Amino acid sequence: MKRHQVTIIDIAKELNLSKSTVSRALTGHKSVKPDTRQAVLELAEKLDYQRNMLAISLITNKTNTIGIIVPEFKSSYFPTAIIGAQEVASKAGYSTVICQSDESYETEVANTRVMLANQVDGILVSITKETRNYDHLKIFQRKGIPIVFFNRVCDEMEVPKVIVDDYDGAYRAVNYLIESGRKRIAHLAGPSSLKISERRMNGYKAALRKHNVPLDEELLISYDLNIEKVKIYVTHLLNLDNPPDAIFAVNDPTAIETIQVIRKRGLRVPEDIAVVGFSNDFVSGLIDPPLTTVSQPVKEIGRTAAQLLIEQISREVADWKSVTKILKTELIVRKST
Amino acid sequence: MKRHQVTIIDIAKELNLSKSTVSRALTGHKSVKPDTRQAVLELAEKLDYQRNMLAISLITNKTNTIGIIVPEFKSSYFPTAIIGAQEVASKAGYSTVICQSDESYETEVANTRVMLANQVDGILVSITKETRNYDHLKIFQRKGIPIVFFNRVCDEMEVPKVIVDDYDGAYRAVNYLIESGRKRIAHLAGPSSLKISERRMNGYKAALRKHNVPLDEELLISYDLNIEKVKIYVTHLLNLDNPPDAIFAVNDPTAIETIQVIRKRGLRVPEDIAVVGFSNDFVSGLIDPPLTTVSQPVKEIGRTAAQLLIEQISREVADWKSVTKILKTELIVRKST
DNA sequence: TACCATATTGGGAACATTCCCAATTTGCGG
DNA sequence: CCGCAAATTGGGAATGTTCCCAATATGGTA
């Protein structure tokens, strides 16, 4: 199916002009006679002329495109963050290429290839839970293409990052549980490969420490975020000789699944066991019982990340400002505690 | 921030070859001496060489990119459909540029501009609720760039479409309500500009007709999908002299909001009023009470649409096969009825 | 009417790659 | 050791645009 694109040259021929003049008219250059410009613009409109960004990008070495790589699309988290990022990006004249790595390191590497081949001006990345090696991301640094991490960041690289205060959020959540009388608080944590899990776990530990509650290793479980496994771990917790009276889950999907498991066992939430999540997903206020959780400004995270990225892109020299923006969280108390 | 890309010519110079030979080696052409190919490949690897798709696309007039334009990202519907589409697309070697029109006609038009400028090989579109004029989409047809509509389709254009059997789904939902003893069933419908609203409304009417229930215009409300207005309409329905004992909402977010409004009025769902939605969003099974709804194979819709699009793209001649794929729905009965 | 400054236009090169056609090298049989 | 076919390689056009520099046109003034 070959189609002939309408080019600047077609317009030039039709009007007996040179491509240079047409180009100038189209790009709004001043040194074009008003009549000429008018004629060019009208013909362009009539012929559905569209400038070929490929050619322009080839010359300018700029595509006005940013890439976004996220690990998944299942929870509302990443779609929401993307909305925020797109909002800022499109306002600044950037379009977005979105790739989803499906929590697979291999796919993430493939995604970066796509981004490079497509000559994106910069990328926004949230890594998979499997990612241990960062060579595929360091290539961008080496080539001078800005990277900004958000949510799941890579500590090895000196680039801007956007996260929330996971430590503080977790601390406040667990602190609340203790102050409302819970004695044995379990934590269903994320994989240790993710800094985010670590920070939330540290918040959990700190809150216990503050109240002189000794850390019971039995109540601290790291899992791989594969939601199907929640059942195994929660069941295990409930079967302990001295089972917990509260569970702090690393994120909302985990918390929601935890509640389902607890109820299937015939126990009540929050009477028998309180449950707290992290993120305040869209669903969390709607479920039964509504979930107590730590909310984070997800859209704002996306916005901030995009902003930082675009700043980097427009910076003339490559002075990798390695800022880390830490956004605030808020404890939302609902009926699950 | 100027960066010099590693090009095929850099490699050629380094190895004392011509760019032609390097190109052949890189693209896996047969007529290259094995030693040469080896050397080229090694150097390319060492230099982090990445082929510049811009240049290639410029020549081949093919970008291996498809565009996706959706009206929103708030419900889980479109993200899920996109996952399905991306799955198929990336398997076929296509990357995706995603735009979100935010239910605004203006933005949708702007999005199509971006797609054209980026020379996408085809687009997947779900129109906004405002879209009445389709010129911006017809441009693609005129230029020979395949379009496939999904979910929110445009009847004016003879192109492939992917929808679900909205009529049948609505019919079954309302039929179920009647057979379980509901007498006055209201329908909170979508805007009449969308075919999808019309089809669901027709299913609603047909079910009433089958059971000889006269259509009460008072119980049939079309609204613009602006979720904040649900409160007004539901309150209005509840204030009727003869209020409904069931509400069939055009989609799940509307149904969920409807439940909230009913409950705020002190009425019970389903005892006082039954509520049914449409789509089976991820949240719908988790809320209180779990929502009875018509489920549709959302991911499959995305997959099918992408498949149709890629078929169109690889077709040599432009014989616009205007198939409409209609996928099946299923009634999921839960506690809200 | 000639001349100069300014306004407008034209003619390439450049961007990174592919691909066709021509040039060169290689290898083998006579 | 020559010649010819096959194997390799090189050169240049083409893709659609921008941008620099040169060329031409226009208008006002002496």
pLDDT in tens, B112-171: 998 998 899 999 999 999 999 999 999 999 888 999 999 999 989 999 999 999 999 999
In a domain, B2, yes or no: no
Q: Which domain holds residue B258?
A: 166-295
**Percent of chain A surpassing pLDDT 90:** 82
pLDDT digits (tens, 9 = 90+) for A158-191: 999 999 999 999 999 999 999 999 999 999 999 9
Long-range Cβ contact pairs of A254-259 (< 8 A, separation 24 or more): A254/A188, A254/A225, A254/A227, A254/A230, A255/A284, A255/A291, A255/A293, A255/A336, A256/A283, A256/A284, A256/A287, A256/A291, A256/B286, A257/A227, A257/A230, A257/A231, A258/A188, A258/A230, A258/A234, A259/A287, A259/A289, A259/A291, A259/A336
Same domain, A181 and A266: yes
- Among A27-36, A236-245, B4-13, top mean pLDDT goes to A236-245
CA A143 to C1' C25, whole Å: 38
Which of B155, B160, B226, B227 minimizes the C-alpha distance to B195?
B155
Which of A33, A122, A125, A34 minimizes the C-alpha distance to A71?
A125
Note whether A227 and A253 are within 8 A (CB): yes
Q: What pLDDT is attached to residue B39? A: 94
Two tokens, residue A9: 């040259």
In a domain, B216, yes or no: yes
* Residue B327 CA neighbour count, 13 Å, CB half: 21
To which residue do tokens 């047909």 refer?
B206
SS3 at position A39: helix
**Does residue A46 carry a pLDDT above 90?**
yes
In a domain, A334, yes or no: no
Same domain, B139 and B191: no
Cβ contacts (< 8 Å) between B139 and chain A: which residues?
48
Out of A48, A79, A116, name the one closest to residue B73 (CB).
A79
Same domain, B232 and B181: yes
Nucleotide nearest to B59 (CA to C1'): D15
Give the span between the Cα atoms of A165 and A24, in whole angstroms.
50
Q: What pLDDT is attached to residue A283? A: 83
CA A58 to C1' C6, whole Å: 34
Same domain, A77 and A155: yes
Please state whether beta strands A292-295 and A330-332 pair in parallel, antiparallel, or not at all (unpaired). antiparallel
Angle ∠(A21,A24,A28) on CA atoms, nearest 5: 145
Same domain, B77 and B128: yes
Same domain, A100 and A115: yes
Nucleotides of strand D under 7 angstroms from a protein beta carbon: 7-12, 14-20
Cβ contacts (< 8 Å) between B57 and chain A: which residues?
54
Cβ contacts (< 8 Å) between A286 and chain B: which residues?
256, 283, 286-288
Give the span between the Cα atoms of A99 and A102, in whole angstroms.
9
Burial of A212 (0-12, 13-18, 19+ CB in 10 A): exposed
Same domain, A22 and A143: no
Q: What pLDDT is attached to residue A189? A: 97
In a domain, A189, yes or no: yes
Tell me the residues of chain B between 77 and 116 that have a Cβ less than 8 Å away from chain A: 79-80, 82-83, 86, 95-100, 113-114, 116
Per-residue b/e over B187-211, b at no fewer than 16 CB within 10 Å?
A: bbbbbebbbbbbbbbebbbebbeee
- Domains in chain B, number: 3
Q: How would residue A3 be classed by pLDDT, with cut points 50, 70 and 90?
A: low
Asked if strand C comes closer than 7 Å to A28 Cβ, the answer is no
**Does residue A1 carry a pLDDT above 50?**
no
Q: Which helix (H) or strand (E) holds A178?
A: helix A166-179
In a domain, B261, yes or no: yes
In a domain, B336, yes or no: no
Which of B206, B151, B190 minimizes the C-alpha distance to B327?
B151
Note whether B283 and B76 are within 8 A (CB): yes
Which of A184, A294, A196, A201 minimizes the C-alpha distance to A240?
A184
Out of B1, B74, B95, name the one closest to residue A118 (CB).
B95
Secondary structure (H, E, C), chain B: CCCCCCCHHHHHHHHCCCHHHHHHHHHCCCCCCHHHHHHHHHHHHHCCCCCCHHHHHHHHCCCCEEEEEECCCCCCHHHHHHHHHHHHHHHCCCEEEEEECCCCHHHHHHHHHHHHHCCCCEEEECCCCCCCCCHHHHHHHHHCCCEEEECCCCCCCCCCEEEECHHHHHHHHHHHHHHCCCCCEEEEECCCCCHHHHHHHHHHHHHHHHCCCCCCHHHEEECCCCHHHHHHHHHHHHCCCCCCCEEEECCHHHHHHHHHHHHHCCCCCCCCCEEEEEECCHHHHCECCCCEEEECCHHHHHHHHHHHHHHHHHCCCCCCCCCEEEECCEEECCCCC
**Does residue B265 carry a pLDDT above 90?**
yes
Residues paired with residue B147 on neighbouring β-strands, in sequence order: B123
In a domain, B214, yes or no: yes
**Does residue A2 carry a pLDDT above 50?**
no
Q: What pLDDT is attached to residue B1? A: 42
Contacts of A213 (CB under 8 A, 6+ apart): A178, A183, A185
Q: What pLDDT is attached to residue A280? A: 92
Same domain, B67 and B19: no
Q: What pLDDT is attached to residue B320? A: 63
Q: What pLDDT is attached to residue A316? A: 62
pLDDT digits (tens, 9 = 90+) for B167-192: 999 999 999 999 999 999 999 999 99
Long-range Cβ contact pairs of B152-156 (< 8 A, separation 24 or more): B152/B71, B152/B126, B152/B127, B152/B128, B152/B194, B152/B195, B152/B196, B153/B126, B153/B127, B153/B195, B153/B196, B153/B324, B154/B125, B154/B127, B155/B195
> Residue A245 gets which letter from DSSP?
S
Q: How would residue B19 be classed by pLDDT, with cut points 50, 70 and 90?
A: very high
Q: What pLDDT is attached to residue A264? A: 93
Q: Check which CATH number belongs to the domain holding A34 and give it.
A: 1.10.260.40
pLDDT higher for A124 or B282? A124
Burial of B246 (0-12, 13-18, 19+ CB in 10 A): buried
SS3 at position A16: coil
Residue of B7, B53, B142, B269 to mutate for A, most A C-beta atoms under 10 A: B53
CA B74 to C1' C7, whole Å: 54
CA A167 to C1' D16, whole Å: 53
A71, closest residue in chain B (CA to CA): B83
Q: Which helix (H) or strand (E) holds A327?
A: strand A324-327
Note whether A81 and A151 are within 8 A (CB): yes
Contacts of B183 (CB under 8 A, 6+ apart): B213, B245
Same domain, B181 and B279: yes
Cβ contacts (< 8 Å) between A142 and chain B: which residues?
48
pTM score of the predicted model: 0.85
Same domain, B177 and B248: yes
Same domain, A268 and A319: no
Q: Check which CATH number belongs to the domain holding A111 and give it.
A: 3.40.50.2300
pLDDT digits (tens, 9 = 90+) for B308-331: 999 999 886 656 668 999 999 999
Which of A87, A124, A125, A147 minimizes the C-alpha distance to A299?
A87
pLDDT digits (tens, 9 = 90+) for A109-140: 999 998 998 899 999 999 999 999 999 999 99
Q: What pLDDT is attached to residue A320? A: 63
B142·A48 Cβ contact <8 A: yes
**Does residue B294 carry a pLDDT above 80?**
yes
Q: How would residue A74 be classed by pLDDT, with cut points 50, 70 and 90?
A: confident
**Does residue A317 carry a pLDDT above 70?**
no
In a domain, A213, yes or no: yes
**Percent of chain A surpassing pLDDT 70:** 97
A59 in contact with chain B, both atoms CB, cutoff 8 A = no
The chain-wide mean pLDDT, for chain B, equals 93
SS3 at position A274: strand
Residues paired with residue A150 on neighbouring β-strands, in sequence order: A162
Same domain, A248 and A308: no
